Every structure is written in structure tokens, then in C-alpha cells.
Amino acid sequence: MAAPVLLLLRALRPPVSAACSRFPSLEPVLPPSSCVVSSGWRTPPARTLQLCPALCAGHNKWSKVKHVKGPKDEARGRMFMKFGMMIRIAVKEGGSNPELNLNLAHILEQCRSKNMPKASIDAAVKSAEKAKPASQHMFEARGPGGCLLLVEVLTDNNSRTHQEIKRLLNKNGGMLSDGARHNFQRRGVVVVPGQNITTERALELAIEAGAEDVQETEDEEEKPLLQFLCDVADLNKVRALLKELGMEVLSSGLEFVPRTHAPLDEDHLDAASILIEALNDCPDVVRVWDNIQAHS
């Protein structure tokens, strides 16, 4: 296994306050409402960025496995439906104007990057404004091989959804598990194309943009991507700096990033894929987050 590439950074920049987020206890996807920048300058402690090829290789393998199987039209329709749910959540929390609702702006950017028709996007926003009240929940679960899952749902019937999530987990080798949430942290994530960018250049970009880490991954067509991770409060700044550095930003937003990964063998990987696909098929499920890493 190739040794991780380490790069030590000491930079002079104004410190940003801890994320002054508006997240409710159920952790909806929502950016911080405001962040105060200190007027004093100081030298922060040195920090280390690393990109580990072996870890990324396993993560890439899992990214290929977990993409939706089946006819492309069906997968496309389901993806748009999930985007509609995300738009509904964002509008509910911050209004329908993307200029005033940064979370909605990030989601709309993702919709456009996935070629969701403008008419469908506009219809989803208008529908969200008139939608009946619904509640968000985050189910914590454990899956095959000990992997951890967070299942984000939007529902108008809490009891029905709880029973359905529990049934799907039990049927597919999983179970509800309090405490899984602690293995994930909310991070800002900016995604750019990774073609023709070396590991060293990726780390340089992360440093120059103020990101805390950078990870290699792939999209559903196996095209290389780079994910720049940062504090929630720094998301817009990192995104803007990457664009200034000439990078094409494919998407940006807030995600649950695992603190540690669970390496799975092929059998457990297949079982986990079936479970996650079953959960995603549930109409009330918005997204499923996991900490899975495939064995290289």
C-alpha cells in the first residue's frame, strides 16, 4: 500500500468562529445562518492534510457498488424525486428564495449538475411552498458487517415510517442502533472534477482554498472526482476560492461525513448494497449516509 501523502500547512488567515448553525436536533440539511469573523489576526496551529490512496481505492469501489441499479430512466426519476424532497426540506426551513436560503441554493446547484429539467426544479420549489406539514427524522442504524447508517426521512406519518424503516432493516440484515450518529459529523463538501489532477496538486488546492481535507472518489460513470471537506461555516468561502483557482464546481453542500470507515468484504458489501437500495426505495427516505469502505 502506498504511504499517505502528507503535507504540513501553516497559514495566516483570520479565524472563523465555530459553526453557528441553525440545525435542529434532527440534523436537517441547513447552512449556518451567520458566522462572525474575528477582527484579530493570529497564527493558527499547524495542520496536516493527507490523501490516502488505499483508503480512496476502497471508497471508490464502494461508490461503484452503491449506485442505483436498474434502468437509467427509473433511477433518474427516483433521483429527481429525492431532490424534490430535499427542496421541500430546504424551503420549509429557510424559504423559497435561493438568494436568502443558501441551503436551497446548494441543492438547486446539485439538481442542475444532474441535469434535472428547469421546469421540474421550478415545479418542485412551488410545490414545496404549498406542501402539507411534514416532519423530519434521522434514524440511526447498523447494517451488514457492522457498517453504520443514517437514514434521513421526511414523513407525514411518523409511526408508519418508523415501522417501515424497522421492517426494511430487519429484512435485510440491519437494525436500529442508537449512537450511530456519533460516528458522523456534518461537513461542508465541495465537489470538482478530478481528471488530470495529481495528488500533490489536489493537496495544494485544498490548502489554497482553506479546505481541511480532500478525498478522491468517482461518480456513477466512474469519472474521477475530488471532494474538498471543510467546516460548515467555511463552505461558501472554500467554494468561491476553488472557483477563483479555476476549478469547475460540480456541487457543494452539507453532508454527514464518517469519522471512521467500516471495511467490508465482498459478501457484506453486497448485503449492504441491497439494504441501502431497499431503504432508498422507501418513498419517505430522503438520503442514506454510510461509513462503508470496500476492501481494496
Tell me the pLDDT tens digit for each residue of 65-85.
555 444 466 777 888 888 888
Helical residues (DSSP H) of the chain, grouped into ranges: 53-66, 72-94, 102-113, 118-130, 158-171, 199-209, 235-244, 266-281
- Residue 24 within any structural domain of the chain: no
- Give the pLDDT confidence score for residue 197 in this predicted structure: 92
Domain edge (last residue) among 129, 147, 166:
129
- The string of pLDDT tens digits covering residues 244-273 is 999 999 989 889 999 999 999 999 999 999
Domain identity same for 173 and 201: yes
- Residue 88 within any structural domain of the chain: yes
Give me the percent of the chain exceeding a pLDDT of 90: 50
From residue 32, alpha-carbon distances to 55, 183, 235, 247 in Å are 30, 21, 10, 24
Spatial neighbors of 111 by CB under 8 A, at least 6 apart, are 80, 83, 87, 121
Whether the per-residue pLDDT at 12 is higher than 60: the answer is no
Domain identity same for 100 and 142: no
Domain identity same for 201 and 105: no
Domain edge (last residue) among 97, 114, 129:
129
> Would you place residue 130 in the very low, low, confident or very high pLDDT band (cuts 50, 70, 90)?
confident
- Give the pLDDT confidence score for residue 57 in this predicted structure: 41
Spatial neighbors of 221 by CB under 8 A, at least 6 apart, are none
- The string of pLDDT tens digits covering residues 38-55 is 333 333 444 445 454 433
* More confident site: 164 or 155: 164
Single-letter code of the amino acid located at 98: P
Domain count, the chain: 2
Query: Could you list the residue range(s) of the whole structural domain that residue 84 is in?
Result: 70-129
- Residue 169 within any structural domain of the chain: yes
How do beta strands 262-264 and 292-294 pair?
parallel
* More confident site: 76 or 207: 207
Domain identity same for 156 and 280: yes
H helix or E strand, kind and range, residue 256: strand 251-258
- Residue 35 within any structural domain of the chain: no
Domain identity same for 146 and 282: yes
Domain identity same for 161 and 119: no
Domain identity same for 165 and 262: yes
Domain identity same for 120 and 151: no
Domain identity same for 78 and 152: no
Domain identity same for 77 and 168: no
How do beta strands 148-155 and 5-9 pair?
unpaired
Tallying the residues shown for the chain, one arrives at 296
Whether the per-residue pLDDT at 172 is higher than 50: the answer is yes
Domain identity same for 120 and 164: no
CA dihedral of 194, 195, 199, 202, whole degrees rounded to 10: -50
CATH code of 100's domain: 1.10.10.200
Domain identity same for 75 and 202: no
- Residue 106 within any structural domain of the chain: yes
Residue in 101, 100, 122 with CA at minimum distance from that of residue 111? 122
CATH code of 227's domain: 3.30.70.980
- Residue 43 within any structural domain of the chain: no
